[in-house]
Amino acid sequence: MTLATHLRPALLALTAVVSFAAQAQQPQPVQVTQPDAASLRVRIYNASPRPITMRVENLSTATLILDETHRLPAYGTLLKFNTLPSGRYALTLRVGPDRYRYTIQVDNQAPGRATIAVRETTTRRVESGLAAL
C-alpha cells in the first residue's frame, strides 16, 4: 500500500467537508423580512447570469406599482406600503430559475397607521424548454 492509498479517503472526506462549509456560507437567494408594521426589506443574491426581476402589483386593480430589473449579483431594498391604499398586493421576484411570490394585505385605514400582513404563496423553480431558445 502506498501513501496515496491512505491519503485518498482522508482527501475525499476533507473535500466533502469543504464543499458542505461553502454551501452553508452561501446566503439564501431571497430574504424578505418585515422591519416595521408597513415595510418589507428584500435582499436578493443572484448566482445566475440572468437578471433579477421584482414586481409589486395591486391585485384588486391589476395595476403594476413597481417593475424593476437588476443585473447585480446582490441587491437590497426597503419597500414601504404606508402610502398605498388598503387592499391586496403581490410581490413577485425572479432570481435565475427560481420564482418567489408573496401576498401582502395592506390596511391603511388611518393616515400614518398602515399595517401589512405578508404571506409567501409560492416558491418554485421555473423549468422551461423556452429558456434554451
Give residues with Cβ within 8 angstroms of 112, minimum separation 6.
82
Whole-model pTM over 0.75: no
Q: Which three cell numbers stand for residue 55?
A: 414586481
Q: What pLDDT score does 5 carry?
A: 55
Q: What pLDDT score does 94 carry?
A: 94
Q: Which three cell numbers stand for residue 130?
A: 423556452
CB neighbours of residue 98 within 10 Å: 15
Dihedral, 44, 50, 52, 53 alpha carbons, nearest 10: -150
- Would you write out the chain's pLDDT as a tens digit for each of its 133 residues? 555 555 555 544 544 444 444 445 567 899 999 999 999 999 999 998 999 999 999 999 999 999 999 999 999 999 999 999 999 999 999 998 899 999 999 998 876 688 999 998 877 765 544 444 3
Complete domains list, the chain, with CATH: 27-127 (2.60.40.3080)
- The Cα 77–Cα 43 span in angstroms is 7
